[in-house]
Amino acid sequence: MSQPTRSLLQATAADLCRHPPFNQMDKAHVLWLAERLELGYYSKGEVIVSPQHGEVRKFFILKQGVVQGEQEVVQAQDDDAWLELQEGDCFPLGALLSNRPVNSVYRVREDAFCYELSAADFHELTHLSVPFHDYCSRRLANLLEQSKHIIQAQYSQSSAEQQSMSSALSSVIRRKPVTCPPETPVMTVLQTMQNLAIGSMVAATQGKPLGIFTLHDVLKRVALVPGLDVTQPIINIMTTNLVTLPPQALAYEAALTMVKHGFRHVLVVDNEGLLQGVISDKDLFTLQRVGLRQVGIAIRSAQNMADFQQAAEDIRQLGQNMLAQGVGAEQLTQMISALNDLLTQHIVAQVFERARQQPGWFAVDFCWLALGSEGRFEQTLNTDQDNGIIFNLPDGKTPDEVRAQLLPVALEINQALDACGFPLCKGNIMASNPQWCLSLDEWENVFSDWIFRGDGVTLLNASIFFDFRHLYGNEDLARDLRSWLVGKIKDNRQFLKKMVSNALDNRPPLGILRDFLLTKDKNNQHTLDLKLNGVTPLVDAARIFALAAGVNDTNTAHRLRAAGALWEIDKGQLEAWIHAFHYIQLLRLRLQHEQCKRDVPLSNRVDPDTLNDLDRRILKESFRQARKLQSELGDYFTF
Query: In sequence order, what are the residues at sequence separation of 6 or more whose Cβ sits closer than 8 angstroms to the Cβ of residue 352?
Result: 409
Q: Are 539 and 376 in contact (CB under 8 A)?
A: yes
Query: In sequence order, what are the residues at sequence separation of 6 or more whose Cβ sits closer than 8 angstroms to the Cβ of residue 192?
Result: 178, 180, 198, 201
At 153, the pLDDT band (50, 70, 90 cuts) reads low
Q: Are 279 and 255 in contact (CB under 8 A)?
A: no
Range 438-442 contact pairs with CB under 8 angstroms and sequence separation of 24 or more: 438/388, 438/389, 438/390, 438/391, 438/399, 439/390, 439/391, 439/392, 439/393, 439/399, 439/402, 440/390, 440/391, 440/392, 440/477, 440/480, 440/481, 441/393, 442/399
At 145, the pLDDT band (50, 70, 90 cuts) reads low
At 2, the pLDDT band (50, 70, 90 cuts) reads very low
Q: How far apart are CA 178 and CA 121, in angstroms?
A: 59
At 513, the pLDDT band (50, 70, 90 cuts) reads very low
Angle between helices 571-598 and 305-324 (to 10 degrees): 120
What pTM did the predictor assign?
0.63
CA distances from 312 to 354, 471, 543 (A): 22, 17, 29
Q: pLDDT by residue (tens digit) across 330-376?
A: 888 888 888 999 999 999 999 999 999 999 999 999 999 999 999 99
Instruction: Indicate the range of 132-146, 330-344, 437-451 predicted with least confidence.
Output: 132-146
pLDDT of residue 81: 39
CATH of segment(s) 292-490: 3.30.460.10
pLDDT of residue 355: 95
- Percentage of the chain beyond pLDDT 70 is 90
- Percentage of the chain beyond pLDDT 90 is 53
pLDDT at position 162 over 70:
no
Sheet of 265-269, strand order: 244-245, 265-269, 275-280
**DSSP H or E run through 605:** strand 605-606
Q: How far apart are CA 165 and CA 326, in angstroms?
A: 9
Q: Which amino acid is at 202?
A: V
Q: Are 386 and 372 in contact (CB under 8 A)?
A: yes
More confident site: 463 or 630: 630
- Helix or strand or coil: residue 139? helix
pLDDT of residue 3: 43
In sequence order, what DSSP letters do the residues of 400-434 get, joined into one string?
HHHHHHHHHHHHHHHHHHHHTT-PPPTT--STTSG
In sequence order, what DSSP letters do the residues of 215-266 get, joined into one string?
HHHIIIIIITSTT--TTSBGGGGSB-S--EE-TTSBHHHHHHHHHHHT-SEE
Please provide the average confidence, as pLDDT, over all residues in the chain: 86
At 1, the pLDDT band (50, 70, 90 cuts) reads very low
pLDDT of residue 74: 36
Domain 3-137 and domain 292-490 have a common topology: no
Q: pLDDT by residue (tens digit) across 292-340?
A: 767 888 888 888 898 899 889 888 878 877 776 677 788 888 888 889 9
pLDDT of residue 561: 94
Query: Mean pLDDT: which of 449-463, 474-488, 606-620 is highest?
Result: 474-488
At 528, the pLDDT band (50, 70, 90 cuts) reads very high
Q: Are 272 and 204 in contact (CB under 8 A)?
A: no
CA triple 406-409-410, angle to 5 deg: 80
Domain ranges in the chain are 3-137, 169-279, 292-490, 501-636
More confident site: 224 or 205: 205
Q: How far apart are CA 344 and CA 350, in angstroms?
A: 10
Nearest 10 degrees: Cα torsion 564, 604, 73, 580: 10
- Residues facing 367 on adjacent strands: 390, 473
Q: Are 324 and 284 in contact (CB under 8 A)?
A: no
Q: How far apart are CA 336 and CA 421, in angstroms?
A: 13
Query: CATH 2.60.120.10: does it fit domain 3-137?
Result: yes
- The DSSP code for 52 is G
* Domain 501-636, CATH class in plain words: mainly alpha
Q: How far apart are CA 458 and CA 463, in angstroms?
A: 9
pLDDT of residue 138: 65
Q: Are 498 and 451 in contact (CB under 8 A)?
A: no
Q: Are 531 and 588 in contact (CB under 8 A)?
A: yes
Q: How far apart are CA 71 and CA 328, in angstroms?
A: 22
Q: How far apart are CA 62 and CA 114, in angstroms?
A: 5
pLDDT of residue 180: 96
pLDDT of residue 24: 81
Half-sphere exposure of 9 (CA within 13 A, CB side): 16
- The DSSP code for 510 is B
3-state secondary structure 522-579: CCCCEEEEHHHHHHHHHHHHHHHHHHHHCCCCCCHHHHHHHHHHHHCCCHHHHHHHHH
Q: Are 591 and 584 in contact (CB under 8 A)?
A: no
Query: Mean pLDDT: which of 84-98, 121-135, 309-323, 586-600 is highest?
Result: 121-135
Q: How far apart are CA 553 and CA 65, in angstroms?
A: 47
pLDDT at position 488 over 80:
yes
Fold (topology level) of 169-279: CBS-domain (3.10.580)
